[in-house]
Structure 1
Amino acid sequence: MKKLILFSFVMACALLGFAQDTTQRVVAGRKNSAAQQQKPYVILISADGFRYDYADKYNAEHLLAFGKEGVHSSSMIPVLPSSTYPNHYAMATGLYPAHNGIVQNIFYDRKLKRYYDSGEKKETQNPIWYGGTPIWVLAEQQQMLAANFYWVGSNTPIKNTYSTYYYPHNEKISIHDRIQDVVNWLKLPAEKRPHLITFYLPPVDNAGHDFGPNSQQVIDAVHNVDSTVYELDKAVKATGLNVNFIFVSDHGMGQPDTEHPLPTPSALDTSKFIISGDRMVVELIAKNPADIQPTYQGLKKEGGDYDVYLRDNIPAHLHRSTADDKFNRIGDILLLPHWPKLFNIYNRKLDKGQHGYDPAVVKDVHAIFFAWGPAFKQHLQIGAFPNVDIYPLVAEVLGLKITEKVDGSSELARMVLK
């Protein structure tokens, strides 16, 4: 009987996705061109949920030293919503969400008549959702090899292209093995060696959600990431290569009022709308366009601890208006709760720590930026800048030609590069 119970548990775990794929993918037949073999190297590290002030606040000594050695910013400004998938893909493409298609962690597409859900593997690996040209695709198009150790979109053949080396996202590979894989990549022969490597670290975000940004668990997670980056830097230096490091996060973390979420407004008939998003950014897609205006007027009249916008009058700094909406995925009506309030339309258990708010209003959602290595100026502090500028910065360091219009500017690269 015990054997039967154990077997049933193992089978259930497999069916629920606990059996994770840890196999490295390698696209055969590629090599760096002779010209690209002479180019610099970049390791782009994302520490999910690492708030702009965590390094100082919690004394991340190694990161502070790297930032002092090279460049650090007062903060980096995420896109709206200040959530994981929109911000990782904004940095990867240099495009705002309405221009690259990944407008929320979970959103509805009117044409496809289905949801993109960051928790659904099948959807996240479907290239139909992704616009723009991710930086690793740009590199591969120009015969420069790239490697991804987890990044939004890296498991997907965007423009029919994967990076030469990549891993499906999983939690099974230890951090020491991940660092060793980076070293192994950099020890490959010049024609097979990736010049761009992305590296993703989730512990700070996980701790922030579960325990809040002021918790001991977040302090421990910050020190964990600090040690990891130090070990990665040390291991990479041992290869003898002069590698450039860029350390960023997708967003910060706040602690809003999760005990008293805003009720669903009485002016909103949920049977008439498809709801895209929740909590900090609620987007309403009308099943019948005739319901848009009266619902909007009713929400405005009802008032409350939130702002209401039509897609035509969304503030310009949010880059989500009708004119911006290249993929027709932005809601007809947008609800933005006032800090520290939030919605809970789906009545889910709310994490203690939250993000997603407008970064122009809530500083706690701002991200971090440090950079060091031979390409970067030394002992330089800069002000806040939009995260879409990461794309042209990486392209400039690697000597890649940007082949399509992006929202990021070259201003950051001009300020921080030698």
Structure 2
Amino acid sequence: MKQGLQFLLLIFSLTALAQKGNMDTAQVVVPNRYNSTEAQKKPYVIMISADGFRYDYAEKYHAENLLKFSGEGVRAEAMLPGYPSITFPNHWTLITGLYPSHHGLIDNFFYDYKRKEGYAMSNRENAEDGSWYGGIPLWGLAEKQGMVAASLMWVGSASNAGGSRPAYYYPYHEKFTPSEKVDKVISWLKLPEDKRPHFISLYFPEVDGSGHHFGPDTKETEEAVHLVDEAIGNLVQKVNALGLENVNFIFVSDHGMVKVDGGSPLEIPALLFDKNRFDFYNSQTLLRVHVKNPDKVKRVYKELKAGKTDDYEVHLDKKLPGYLHFSTKDDRYSRIGQILLIPKAPKIFLEKGRKTSVGKHGYNPRLVPEMKATFMAWGPEFKNNLVVDEFSNIHVYPLVAKILGLPINHPVDGKLKVLKKTLKAKK
């Protein structure tokens, strides 16, 4: 292994969110979960996410295995993440088919004024409490219909969100290498038919970590892309050796990455530091403002508009463009805030004395193409040599459900018709 890659893996280990305190790395097995006779006859789907794997990374860094597999199967020109283009919101969108404002994970951290509690992705108690998460994740959809599911570190998979955990899962940590994760997936697929998962979700954080620490246009990020690509090649080879019928792979990412202007960040307007009047939540590429007196919202909005610079926009939440699905009418959990300050890439908001990373995401993917994500798929259910136009990530959910033969009997934002064309016609 190259020295640079060893250093990269060391950084991931040191910065892992779940390394705070002692973390149990043991698998959790929910007892008395079995595939029905019907489920045992259905296809398999292995859904893989490489966090921060920008839509152009495979070509940019020549990810040999991913280019080969997607070339034989299906790939999209790009996939549009939900807004904001941030990790937790979009992983939960991919696994539920709901926009972030509809499933409630509107950021990696937020405050719920109805619950009078805050959510933070680094808080294990939050992360494993399903009451924070709206929608029914794919593993829950499968388990409720008699199909065993498994997950390796996907957002929310250690929680009871939607009423059911996967039969096999791990509390989140970053101690497993990509190759170790591959071996754990293979161990699941070697289980007896009645216990073998037909839906598996798998998560790799390495590309995102490299993009943040070093930037998207660096040797370190290239090495992280190759690390994940090698793991995918290893996974496919080992799965093929098992001789299982109808195993399908879907490779996605949650968002892209862009180098930001950390040297001259935007100042947060001074009036927002009055804690008697405001709370604000700064993810640097988006600043959400909660005005404690709702009668003063319009007045505050005018003050902020009057004082703004050309480097950012000020929006009333209810006036945000409808295509973002992040306005008041979409905010089902009232977690967004009434006023949004949106920097123009590559600008960010940064409190004085705070540091930032080289690479960031969170911007509007329709305005900042570097935010766009990846979609690739291959296997017996997918057409060959097909390239599709960019689409919203909400549509992955009904695609997976269709392959697995799982009816969706609850409201979702995604539509099967968008990606049905990627599937082979049934004979």
Q: Tell me the TM-score normalized by structure 1.
A: 0.94
The CA distance in 1 between the partners of 2:19 and 2:368, in whole Å, is 37
What does the per-residue CA deviation read over 1:23-73, in whole Å, with 9 as the maximum and x for residues that have no partner?
111111111111111110000000000000000001111110011000011
1:191 counterpart SS class:
coil
Superposition pairs of residues 243-254 of structure 1, within 5 angstroms: 243-254=247-258
Residue 267 (structure 1) shift: 4.9
CA RMSD for the aligned pairs? 1.4
Instruction: Please name the residue that 2:296 is paired with.
Output: 291
Q: 1:314 aligns with which of 320, 325, 330?
A: 320
* Percent identity between the two aligned chains: 47
What are the ranges of 5 or more consecutive residues in structure 1 without an aligned counterpart? 1-14
Aligned length: 404
Given that residues 105 and 117 in structure 1 are in contact (C-alpha distance below 8 angstroms), is that contact kept between their aligned partners in structure 2?
yes
Letter in 2 for 1:214: D
Superposition pairs of residues 111-190 of structure 1, within 5 angstroms: 111-190=114-193
Structure 1 residue 265 and structure 2 residue 269: aligned? Answer: yes
1:245 counterpart SS class:
strand
Residue 265 (structure 1) shift: 1.9
**Runs (4+) off by over 4 Å:** none
The CA distance in 1 between the partners of 2:19 and 2:184, in whole Å, is 28
Residue 18 (structure 1) shift: 4.6
Instruction: Please name the residue that 1:218 is paired with.
Output: 221
The CA distance in 2 between the partners of 1:358 and 1:176, in whole Å, is 34
The CA distance in 2 between the partners of 1:390 and 1:321, in whole Å, is 23
Letter in 1 for 2:84: P
The CA distance in 1 between the partners of 2:19 and 2:252, in whole Å, is 32
What does the per-residue CA deviation read over 1:268-299, in whole Å, with 9 as the maximum and x for residues that have no partner?
35421111242111111112213311110011
The CA distance in 1 between the partners of 2:219 and 2:84, in whole Å, is 27
The CA distance in 2 between the partners of 1:85 and 1:277, in whole Å, is 15
Change (3 A) 1:139 1:16: closer
What are the ranges of 5 or more consecutive residues in structure 2 without an aligned counterpart? 1-17
Q: Which moved more, 1:292-301 or 1:214-223?
A: 292-301
Given that residues 396 and 413 in structure 1 are in contact (C-alpha distance below 8 angstroms), is that contact kept between their aligned partners in structure 2?
no
Q: 1:201 aligns with which of 189, 200, 204?
A: 204
What does the per-residue CA deviation read over 1:123-156, in whole Å, with 9 as the maximum and x for residues that have no partner?
1111221111011101111011100011111010
Q: Tell me the TM-score normalized by structure 2.
A: 0.92
Residue 19 (structure 1) shift: 2.7
Residue 16 (structure 1) shift: 7.1
The CA distance in 2 between the partners of 1:104 and 1:306, in whole Å, is 19
What does the per-residue CA deviation read over 1:361-413, in whole Å, with 9 as the maximum and x for residues that have no partner?
10001001110000000000111000011101110110101111111111333
Given that residues 101 and 326 in structure 1 are in contact (C-alpha distance below 8 angstroms), is that contact kept between their aligned partners in structure 2?
yes
Residue 348 (structure 1) shift: 2.4
Q: 1:88 aligns with which of 91, 95, 104?
A: 91
Letter in 2 for 1:359: P
Structure 1 residue 191 and structure 2 residue 197: aligned? Answer: no
1:268 counterpart SS class:
helix
2:165 counterpart SS class:
coil
What does the per-residue CA deviation read over 1:45-102, in whole Å, with 9 as the maximum and x for residues that have no partner?
0000000000000111111001100001111000111110000000011000111010
Change (3 A) 1:357 1:187: same
2:272 counterpart SS class:
coil
The CA distance in 1 between the partners of 2:225 and 2:171, in whole Å, is 24
Superposition pairs of residues 9-408 of structure 1, within 5 angstroms: 17-241=20-244, 242-271=246-275, 272-304=277-309, 305-345=311-351, 347-408=353-414
Residue 339 (structure 1) shift: 1.4
Instruction: Please name the residue that 1:8 is paired with.
Output: none
